[in-house]
Structure 1
Amino acid sequence: MSPRFGRRERAASRTDTGPTRAERRRGTGGPGRSGAAPSRRWPALVLIAALVVGGVVLGSDDVAVEDPPPADPSTLLPIAAPDDALGSVWFCAGQSAGDDTPADGTLVISNPSDEAAAGRIELVSAEGEEAADEVAVEPWTTTRVRVADLLAGEWVAARVETTSGTVVVEHEVVGEAGRDVAPCQTRAADRLYLPSGATTRDAQLTLLVFNPYSDAATVDLSFVTDDGVRRPRALQGLPVPAGAVVPVDVSGVVTVRPLVATILTARRGRVVVDRVQTFDGRGAATTEEEAAEEPYRREGLTVTPAVPRTATDWVFPAGLRAPGIHEQITVFNPGEELAEVDVTLDLADPQRNGTLDPFALEVPGGEARVLEVDEAEGVPEGVTHSVRVTSTNQVPVVAERALAVTGDASYRAQLTSTGAPVVSEGWVFAAGWRGPDEEAQRIALANPGDEEVTVELVAYGDGERSDPLGDEPITLAPGEHVELDVGQLGGLEEGQTSLEVTASAPIVAERRLISRSPSDDPDADDAEPGVGGSAALGVPVGPGTAALGE
């Protein structure tokens, strides 16, 4: 079938283990010295929030880049270190710290193994203040550390180093606009991508650039929009001092754009980047005429790690076309050659619901395209689907999915995440739900392989590991996906908020957290929608991890 597309946005388009032992003995490895929390102040940082718009519009060739083939899965996604590793390091760039800050952060440190782990948290604020603390994570436990309890600040980055390779770290952010949870990152990079973002009147887009190492970094930032490429002069050769976090207020630099893709290139050093995006629910329209044409208004808070590599295959385990849920798939091609891309929506129960032909996208080098699922021909309402983005001519791209959940649904949220360019036999979700009265927790599983897969879900967090959840084994046929309501599976004990997914063959796993209506009866006439939600991939664990398609 011939797809219909809504908005088609134009755009130009060694595993890190932290500092060496010698560096740590000298106290130069990372944002804080070992031992007591340091008291010295950091050098004054460049605050980007007050920058004057100084960008120029360039042709797409000015930012075109090419990536070599991925060397290993750890270059594509945060991946937990193996069981026999001496330790692991996690970088959490994007959170604030305090009740009145945009994205008040909590570190969620989880140990899905039978070996105790000791860890150290090192924090640095955008103002240069530092703090550090020790943390112990017993077997099968999950520890939550609110960042503001250690260091308050408008923006604060964290470095978590542990003695066990199987520890997984996520960060939760909560603000006036909502809540989100995402994995922290396990490696820094010299090139990073974010396929989308918005700076419309209802949106605030902030990048947090974190240099967790003892050497200074220098980076260039380019922003790809529907009217070309912008390279603000103040963001070319931007210094990121050793151990520092630098906030970049993109909304103050690239104004009133519905789609802003980001390319960061480091001239020197390596960095970690998180995007913090909020929508306030007012809508992007600035005139009555535009408001009459606006299909929905977004509201929510998201934190999304930047992607260190492009890839030819991306999987999103679950999506849905339904009243109040608006799905977009953004495909960004930062290279030079045209990417011929198929976006395949695999419907649940295909024998009953049928199959859809792929939606074909041509994405020129240095440009992006958006598939509006609401307007895509033939996608049925009320039937879940998984999404696979495939570059049929092997030109690598980056793909991201956004679900805007509006007031027509039982909750309001913005759920945004990049897809999975890897598959794994094991996935861990450190952060879990806050309880059945406040939140629903769903796990989406997709099997992109060509053999049937058996899957087990196990809960932990209180020092105990549950039996497999559910009364029956979970099986996925080739190409099949399933979305499970964890609270309905049975076998979940109080305090067991973390989840481990184990499969007989590599799959992709995603967690979705959904706020409950404050009413006991969500269907009551006076029920207010819940506010907040999260969608994020798990963290791959174990040896059965590989790049998708290999």
Structure 2
Amino acid sequence: MGNLKAGANKGGVVRIFAFTLWLAFFMSVPHLSPVSRAEEPLRALLVMAFAPGDSLRQAAEGDLLETVSTLEEFGFQVAVLDAYNPDGSVSSCPHYRLHRHLEEYTYRLLVYYGHGDSSRWAFHLPQDPAWAGRTDTEEGYYETVAFGDSRQHWQQDINLAPRAMVILRHACYSNGLRAEDTQEGASLLSEAEVLGRINEYSYTFLYPQTGIISYTASASRNYTPSYLRTLFREHGRPVGEVTVPDLGSQYSADTGYRLLRGEHFYLGSSGYAYRKNRMPGSANSQVWGQAAWAGNPKATASWIFGRVPGDENGDGDNTDLGEPCFPHDSRDLFLTEDTTYNFFPFLCLANPGKEGTWARITFLDEEDEYLTVYREVPGRSRITLDCNANRYLRNKDLSVRVESVDGTPLLAERPMYFRYAGWMDGGSDSFGAPQPSASWYFAEGYASDRLPFHEYLCVGNFNPREVMVKLSLLGNGGQALVREFALPALTRRTFLINSYVQGEVSVVLEGDGPVVAERSMYYRYAAVAGSFVADGGHTKAGSTSLSDTWYFAEGHVSPDFEEWICLANPGVERVSADVYLYTSAGKKGPWRVEIPARGRSTVMVNRCLGAAVSTDVSAVVKAERPIVCERAMYFRFNGTWDDGHVSPGSPVLSNTWNFAEGSAYPGIQEYILVMNPGKEETLLEFTFLLGPGEGTRKALYRLGGEGRLSLNLNAELSSLGSPPQVAAIISSERPVA
């Protein structure tokens, strides 16, 4: 096909581009399968006749390549005929290849990039000297007669679809101008001369034999993709009005503007017409540089193409989610990450189901603004959205809502990497909450300006009305400090807990409407044993209910890992709780903890097992009345990575656990921890969802009663070459944590 190719088009593949999860953080669509159609596919032929050395070639190439992409997005099968090779020589038999294209396929759109000819009023392709004159062969015959370069060929030999359109790009005379008319000193052309050229050129292509009912000619750069997109978006509006709109309301009578329209000079009896805008100005390029149109004045894009281009679900429009004219937010621009900021949040979405869907993602900031974007999430896969790659989201405190447009359940997590205050560097990760709540409980918390430990409460109000929230700050002594705030509709607010209290603190949030809440902490932690110092941060959503039982699968104690279990009692009565620990040596405990009314207590797991002990550990907390529990860990991993993380416990066991975030990329070490507090062995099945198109992987493990498993994801998936995106589903014969 010569130099230019249609590239991404694979046999005419159509590009197809309210379950809710909520995230508040310090930063401090259904899958529309192509509809099966019995009618012939939409086909377009793009012809490039500018030579590589021609000054118009570069601009035309860019226009052509973007046009290919646009047409494929709207469901076209695209063919490209380039009359030249990259070295500037004529490609093999361009006239013969044009004949074969038009003979073998039914094209509804033909776009020509090349020079015009006022003697033949048609295409102007170069002849292949190797074949021209060899009329004894089919190739030679069509090359000799220069097929397509003559009005006679179009009016006698060429037949496109019963209704088709042609677009001429940069061809002299085709829109009323030739190159010489735009040079300095050229006389201003008369209306009669311009309209004569337009009618003459369009007559070649609009002759009834061809099937063409719409002719557009333009010399503007980068015109075709935007023109076609407008044409397809306004598919029910006459093409002539879209191409040459009446601009009379924009110009006063004395400016010289006129819409020139009338019966076609040759085809007026058939109802055909022409349109051309005469613009204000004194030079031809100003006055006559706009596009020209001729054809059937009733022709619309949907009539020409026999359907609405880009309509994937067959409902008669192309504006549904996943279709190319869906009204995207103009700020949906995730281009490149900006590394000048100190916070790098990502959004990880996983779809465990077999069918694909679309996610609607809404970001709220503290300036009462929001941005909504849509992303396709294929079935059995995971995608990642880099928030810092959108300049409208950088350097903002944000809350996020994720919802599938068709009710398909999704998994959402938000990892975030940061350098807080210029020196506390680390990372955190948080699950999205499946729904907002009027109550949120946070057991862990420490506020200190001296160490420092900076604690924030981040609250997102996705309601269309204001919500009043009450914060109760619970200390070790059983006295609560209460503060109330108004949270405006559709906003995110951040509260610095250090500004209210210093020391250990748990938080209870209660509102008169549902909100979503997370706690962020940034710190310099000095190990109790004096063995390490960790600076970093962690963020987690709170619990929305209390429970008398809490399970923690993760845990590790050693001189380089210090683990704490934090227990908060929002009730008005003192509560006793027992802590049980599960290690490789079996179940240990209980350790009794007393929690004052409207207060909190903390258990250091290292002290329970012995300061010198190094072991993996899981935990279960059983209380006489409902409380809330979290587990905080601070560490120096492998002797070099210092940070911390926190997690609420689970009030229940389950046969299924889902994780959207995960990576086996070099430099990232991931473990999945599973705890079996029951007496019986269970079989675990791990299903790993990789990036779109990368498939899934499975692994089976047996876990004994009252046992614990640490799965090294990097080792498990090492044969796959360290996949950067990994979501996980864990299924168990018996309930686990």
TM-score of the aligned structures, taking structure 2 as reference length: 0.51
Instruction: Give, in angstroms, the shift of residue 251 of structure 1.
Output: 1.8
Give the aligned residue type for 2:488: P
Task: Measure the CA separation in 1 of the matches of 2:342 and 2:580.
Answer: 36
Q: What is the correspondence of 1:169-318 to structure 2 with a 5 Å cutoff? A: 169-176=412-419, 177-200=425-448, 201=450, 202-226=452-476, 229=479, 231=481, 235-236=483-484, 238-254=485-501, 256-257=502-503, 259-266=504-511, 268-280=512-524, 283=526, 297-318=533-554
3-state DSSP class of the match of 1:251? helix
Residue among 354, 358, 375 paired with 1:114: 354
The answer to whether residue 582 in structure 2 is matched with residue 369 in structure 1 is no
3-state DSSP class of the match of 1:357? strand
Give the aligned residue type for 2:619: V
Task: Measure the CA separation in 1 of the matches of 2:394 and 2:618.
Answer: 40
Instruction: Provide Cα deviations, 1:350-398, integer angstroms capped at 9, x if missing partner.
Output: 3xxxx5221111222222111112222557622212111111x2x0111
Task: Measure the CA separation in 2 of the matches of 1:375 and 1:250.
Answer: 28
Instruction: Give, in angstroms, the shift of residue 182 of structure 1.
Output: 1.4
3-state DSSP class of the match of 2:565? strand
* Residues 411-420 or 487-496, more deviating: 487-496
Say whether the 8 Å CA contact 2:476–2:601 is kept in structure 1: no
3-state DSSP class of the match of 1:128? coil
Say whether the 8 Å CA contact 2:578–2:592 is kept in structure 1: yes
Task: Measure the CA separation in 2 of the matches of 1:458 and 1:297.
Answer: 37
How many pairs are equivalent? 398
Instruction: Provide Cα deviations, 1:409-456, integer angstroms capped at 9, x if missing partner.
Output: 342111111111122211121111251x20111110011234321001
| Structure 2 partner of 1:442 | 671
Give the aligned residue type for 1:448: P
| Structure 2 partner of 1:500 | 729
Instruction: Give, in angstroms, the shift of residue 121 of structure 1.
Output: 1.1
Give the aligned residue type for 2:447: T
Say whether the 8 Å CA contact 1:427–1:502 is kept in structure 2: yes
Residue among 489, 513, 520 paired with 2:716: 489
User: Please, which runs of 5 or more residues in structure 2 have no aligned partner?
Assistant: 1-17, 29-337, 420-424
Say whether the 8 Å CA contact 1:333–1:339 is kept in structure 2: yes
Give the aligned residue type for 1:320: H
Instruction: Give, in angstroms, the shift of residue 460 of structure 1.
Output: 1.5
Task: Measure the CA separation in 1 of the matches of 2:470 and 2:639.
Answer: 40
| Structure 2 partner of 1:319 | 555
Task: Measure the CA separation in 2 of the matches of 1:179 and 1:164.
Answer: 31
| Structure 1 partner of 2:685 | 456
Task: Measure the CA separation in 2 of the matches of 1:100 and 1:198.
Answer: 30
Instruction: Provide Cα deviations, 1:8-60, integer angstroms capped at 9, x if missing partner.
Output: xxxxxxxxxxxxxxxxxxxxxxxxxxxxxxxxxxxxxxxxxxxxxxxxxxxxx
Task: Measure the CA separation in 1 of the matches of 2:343 and 2:357.
Answer: 28
| Structure 1 partner of 2:345 | 105
The answer to whether residue 627 in structure 2 is matched with residue 385 in structure 1 is no
Instruction: Give, in angstroms, the shift of residue 209 of structure 1.
Output: 0.8
Task: Measure the CA separation in 1 of the matches of 2:695 and 2:596.
Answer: 49
Task: Measure the CA separation in 2 of the matches of 1:327 and 1:272.
Answer: 27
Task: Measure the CA separation in 2 of the matches of 1:101 and 1:216.
Answer: 31
* Residues 489-498 or 333-342, more deviating: 489-498
Q: What is the correspondence of 1:22-41 to structure 2 with a 5 Å cutoff? A: none
| Structure 2 partner of 1:36 | none
Say whether the 8 Å CA contact 1:310–1:396 is kept in structure 2: yes
Task: Measure the CA separation in 1 of the matches of 2:496 and 2:596.
Answer: 28
Q: Identity percentage over the alignment? A: 21
3-state DSSP class of the match of 2:715? helix
Task: Measure the CA separation in 2 of the matches of 1:197 and 1:101.
Answer: 26
Instruction: Give, in angstroms, the shift of residue 194 of structure 1.
Output: 0.5
Say whether the 8 Å CA contact 1:216–1:239 is kept in structure 2: yes
| Structure 2 partner of 1:124 | 364
Q: What is the correspondence of 1:57-68 to structure 2 with a 5 Å cutoff? A: none
Task: Measure the CA separation in 2 of the matches of 1:341 and 1:300.
Answer: 30
Instruction: Give, in angstroms, the shift of residue 405 of structure 1.
Output: 0.4
TM-score of the aligned structures, taking structure 1 as reference length: 0.68
Instruction: Give, in angstroms, the shift of residue 261 of structure 1.
Output: 0.6
For the aligned residue pairs, the C-alpha RMSD in angstroms reads: 2.4
Instruction: Give, in angstroms, the shift of residue 495 of structure 1.
Output: 4.8
Instruction: Provide Cα deviations, 1:477-505, integer angstroms capped at 9, x if missing partner.
Output: 22211111112224546355111111112
Instruction: Provide Cα deviations, 1:51-84, integer angstroms capped at 9, x if missing partner.
Output: xxxxxxxxxxxxxxxxxxxxxxxxxxxxxxxxxx
Task: Measure the CA separation in 1 of the matches of 2:480 and 2:735.
Answer: 40
User: Taking structure 1 as reference, are residues 90 and 377 closer, same or farther at Cα in structure 2, changes over 3 Å only?
Assistant: closer
User: Taking structure 1 as reference, are residues 107 and 408 closer, same or farther at Cα in structure 2, changes over 3 Å only?
Assistant: closer
User: Taking structure 1 as reference, are residues 506 and 228 closer, same or farther at Cα in structure 2, changes over 3 Å only?
Assistant: closer
Task: Measure the CA separation in 1 of the matches of 2:669 and 2:346.
Answer: 20
Instruction: Give, in angstroms, the shift of residue 169 of structure 1.
Output: 0.8
Task: Measure the CA separation in 2 of the matches of 1:338 and 1:361.
Answer: 11
Instruction: Give, in angstroms, the shift of residue 100 of structure 1.
Output: 5.8
Instruction: Give, in angstroms, the shift of residue 230 of structure 1.
Output: 5.1
Q: Name which one, 1 or 2, has greater alpha-carbon Rg.
A: 2
Higher relative contact order (CA 8 A, sep 6+): 1
| Structure 2 partner of 1:423 | 653
Instruction: Give, in angstroms, the shift of residue 297 of structure 1.
Output: 3.4
Say whether the 8 Å CA contact 1:348–1:482 is kept in structure 2: no
Instruction: Provide Cα deviations, 1:129-167, integer angstroms capped at 9, x if missing partner.
Output: 221111111112222112231523430111111124321
3-state DSSP class of the match of 2:514? coil
3-state DSSP class of the match of 2:551? strand
Task: Measure the CA separation in 1 of the matches of 2:516 and 2:705.
Answer: 35
Task: Measure the CA separation in 1 of the matches of 2:595 and 2:416.
Answer: 33
Instruction: Provide Cα deviations, 1:156-195, integer angstroms capped at 9, x if missing partner.
Output: 1111111243211111111112111111111111121101
Say whether the 8 Å CA contact 1:459–1:492 is kept in structure 2: no
Instruction: Give, in angstroms, the shift of residue 229 of structure 1.
Output: 3.8
User: Taking structure 1 as reference, are residues 103 and 194 closer, same or farther at Cα in structure 2, changes over 3 Å only?
Assistant: farther
Say whether the 8 Å CA contact 1:95–1:173 is kept in structure 2: no
Task: Measure the CA separation in 1 of the matches of 2:606 and 2:479.
Answer: 28
Instruction: Provide Cα deviations, 1:265-292, integer angstroms capped at 9, x if missing partner.
Output: 11x21111011111145x59xxxxxxx9
User: Taking structure 1 as reference, are residues 261 and 175 closer, same or farther at Cα in structure 2, changes over 3 Å only?
Assistant: same
Q: What is the correspondence of 1:13-162 to structure 2 with a 5 Å cutoff? A: 87-96=18-27, 103-148=343-388, 149=390, 150-162=392-404
Say whether the 8 Å CA contact 1:101–1:154 is kept in structure 2: no
Q: Which consecutive aligned stretches of 4+ in structure 1 deviate over 4 angstroms post-superposition?
A: 97-103, 292-296, 377-380, 490-493
3-state DSSP class of the match of 2:498? helix
Give the aligned residue type for 1:155: D
| Structure 2 partner of 1:166 | 409
Give the aligned residue type for 2:446: A
Task: Measure the CA separation in 1 of the matches of 2:680 and 2:671.
Answer: 24
Instruction: Judging by fraction of residues, say which structure has more helix.
Output: 2
Task: Measure the CA separation in 1 of the matches of 2:530 and 2:475.
Answer: 20
3-state DSSP class of the match of 1:488? helix
Q: What is the correspondence of 1:337-356 to structure 2 with a 5 Å cutoff? A: 337-350=573-586, 355-356=587-588
Instruction: Give, in angstroms, the shift of residue 250 of structure 1.
Output: 1.2
| Structure 2 partner of 1:360 | 592
User: Taking structure 1 as reference, are residues 477 and 483 closer, same or farther at Cα in structure 2, changes over 3 Å only?
Assistant: same
Say whether the 8 Å CA contact 1:323–1:408 is kept in structure 2: no
Instruction: Give, in angstroms, the shift of residue 464 of structure 1.
Output: 4.1
Say whether the 8 Å CA contact 1:95–1:156 is kept in structure 2: yes
